[in-house]
Amino acid sequence: MSSKITRRRVLHGMLGGAAISVGLPLLDCFLDDKGTAFADGAPLPVCFGTWFASMGWTPTFWEPEVVGTKDPMKQMKPLLKALEPFQGKINLFSGMQAFLDGRPMATHETGAQICTTGSIPVGNDLDVPSIDQLAANSIGTRTRFRSIEVSYEGVPTSWSRRSSTSINASEVSPLALYRRIFGPQFTDPNSDTFTPDPAVMLERSVLSTVTDQRASLIKKVSASDRVRLDEYFTSIREIEHELDVQLQKPMPMVACSKPEAPPDGPHGQAMDLVIANGKLFSVLIAHALACGQTRVFNAIATMGASSVHKVGSEATFHIDTHEEAIDPKLGYQPETHWYMARCLDCFADLLKQLDSVREGPRTLLDRTVIYGSTDHGYARLHTLANIPLLTAGAANGRLKTGYHLAAPGDTTARVGLTVLQALQLPVSSWGTMSNQTSRPFSELLV
């Protein structure tokens, strides 16, 4: 660890005595002996993620028979078989609904927007942040990356947004994500030595001159454009922040290790590729969280009316949900279930990666909470009732797990509010109009 070098001091030296207005202290804390907290007793920071796979789950084929807390997960239905190893670390929520309030529904889109923002858009107008960005405002401000977004199926969009004009793009290439996080700018938090990079200092100083233009430029645009311009300056400040973090000795992260670079493989909507890239992304997300590079992530397996398909098949996941025959013996659409199960395999793989990172007696998954949502309750009919939702991870002990809670007709926002409160955000309600709620699942909150 560096001794008394501060960024202020270094910049002072590098820039020939010019005054530096931004100074961030070095963090010199260490983990305690158990590896679960810093030396001053503060726990390792909580992490948050969202998981999204479109098309929902076929009603009656996923809900546990038992509701409540008494071993509700002991008999997971076949569709959720992949989640069996984690039944004690997840919660399932059934019966929940997204409300349209008389507005038109964009199929495979509106439901997802309600689940991720608690609100229904009017046209393109949805000026509320998504749940991950709300969380990032609170827990994502001290890491290099405020949040990271990935798409397993190669479609570079996401549900993550600061507003309707500022929608985060998903990374579709595992190698590109690796280079962004673990490329030359990555600093091993457990390294004994730390030397601030003069090139980063210079970059940071130059970049600050951009944000200094704000006051003069903001006067030249209309009120609505001011919002967008301010979003741009916020983004630039986030890069400045990213550079600031690079100029500090990072706090040690006991479980941090730099992963192997993933192969430069293809990405696309063949299910095999979705699964393969999902595995690579899971590894990178786990390492990024373990190394403190970010505390918020958004992962999408399939997006909306997805064109994900089996190699050689004429139909797609989406087409199958509508056109595949229901097997009279099984009672469901077998091909459609196959896609749903493969998406759950991807999710289980993400949980496995997080749960394999041991931090003392607990795991990375234990200090994380993942909110899983989808677009429809029954995609075959485009319903917004009985939308399957779940959480995984214990939010650093703030969220009980192993529950199946049924809340027929309740807004899906109840799960989001529960998660936000588990993250200790000061929110008493979430959502708007009929999707608004001030009733978290308090039985889950510790």
Partner 1 sequence: MGKLMSQKMISLLSSSLAVATLFAGTAQAAPKPTPATFEAAGPVVATGPALLRRLSPDQYRQTIADIFGSDISIGGRFAPEIRDSGLLAVGAGNQSITADEADQYHVMAQTIASQVVDKSHRGVLIPCRPVSDTGADDRCAGQFLAEVGELLYRRPLSKDDLQLQVHIARMAALQEKDFYAGLRESLAQMLVSPEFLFRWSEVQGPLGGEGVSTLDPYARASELSFLLWNSAPDETLLNDARHGKLNSPKGLAREVDRMLASRRLNAGVRAFFSDMLQFSCAENPCLDATFAKDETVYPRFTPQVAADAQEQTLRTLVDLLITHDGDYRDVFTTPRTFLTPDLAAIYGVPLPRDSPNGEPSGWEPYVYPAGDPRAGILAQVSFVALHSHPGVSSAVLRGRALREVILCQKVPDPPPNVSFKLVLDTTNPNYPTMRSRLDAHITNPVCAGCHKLMDPMGLVMENFDSDGSFRTRQNGVLIDTSGSLDGKKFQGMPGLDQAVANDPAAPACLVSRLAEYALGRAPTGDETQWVANLKKDFVADHYRLRPLLRQIATSDVLYRVEWKGVQANSAVAPSSTVASR
329 touches partner 1 by CB under 8 A: no
345 touches partner 1 by CB under 8 A: no
- Minimum distance between the CB of residue 309 and partner 1, rounded to whole angstroms? 5
- Minimum distance between the CB of residue 326 and partner 1, rounded to whole angstroms? 7
Residue from 127, 188, 197, 238 touching partner 1 (CB under 8 A): that is 238
Which residue in the block uniquely carries the two structure tokens 């973090």? 245
Burial 294-308 (b: 16+ CB within 10 A, else e): bbbbbbbbbbbbbbb
Structural contact between residues 114 and 98, judged by C-beta atoms closer than 8 angstroms: yes
Near partner 1 in 4-43, by CB under 8 A: 14-16, 18-21
195 touches partner 1 by CB under 8 A: no
Residue from 32, 188, 197, 231 touching partner 1 (CB under 8 A): that is 231
124 touches partner 1 by CB under 8 A: yes
CA atoms within 13 A on the CB side of 411: 27
184 touches partner 1 by CB under 8 A: no
Stretch that binds partner 1, among 40-48, 67-75, 233-241, 363-371 (CB under 8 A): 233-241
Q: Site size for partner 1, by CB under 8 A? A: 88
Residue from 7, 89, 180, 414 touching partner 1 (CB under 8 A): that is 180
Residue from 28, 84, 101, 225 touching partner 1 (CB under 8 A): that is 225
Distance CA 326, CA 377 (A): 17
Q: Cα separations (Å) of 48 from 10, 94, 270, 313?
A: 34, 22, 28, 36
Complex with partner 1: residue 203 or 349, whichever CB lies closer? 203
Distance CA 49, CA 297 (A): 5
Near partner 1 in 151-170, by CB under 8 A: 154-157, 162-169
Complex with partner 1: residue 73 or 155, whichever CB lies closer? 155
Near partner 1 in 368-397, by CB under 8 A: 380-384
Contacts for 334 with CB less than 8 Å, ≥ 6 apart? 324, 327
Near partner 1 in 51-110, by CB under 8 A: 104-108
For residues 366, 260, 245, 211, the Cα torsion angle rounded to the nearest 10 degrees is -110
Stretch that binds partner 1, among 69-77, 280-288, 310-318, 422-430 (CB under 8 A): 310-318
Complex with partner 1: residue 224 or 442, whichever CB lies closer? 224
Complex with partner 1: residue 433 or 445, whichever CB lies closer? 433
Residue from 40, 102, 314, 361 touching partner 1 (CB under 8 A): that is 314
- Minimum distance between the CB of residue 89 and partner 1, rounded to whole angstroms? 30
Distance CA 75, CA 244 (A): 49
Distance CA 382, CA 122 (A): 19
Near partner 1 in 243-272, by CB under 8 A: 268-270
For residues 83, 111, 161, 319, the Cα torsion angle rounded to the nearest 10 degrees is 70
197 touches partner 1 by CB under 8 A: no
212 touches partner 1 by CB under 8 A: yes
198 touches partner 1 by CB under 8 A: yes
Structural contact between residues 302 and 53, judged by C-beta atoms closer than 8 angstroms: yes
Nearest partner of 280 among 176, 373, 366, judged by Cα: 176
Q: Exposed (0-12), middle (13-18) or buried (19+): which is 432, by Cβ within 10 Å?
A: middle
Contacts for 319 with CB less than 8 Å, ≥ 6 apart? none
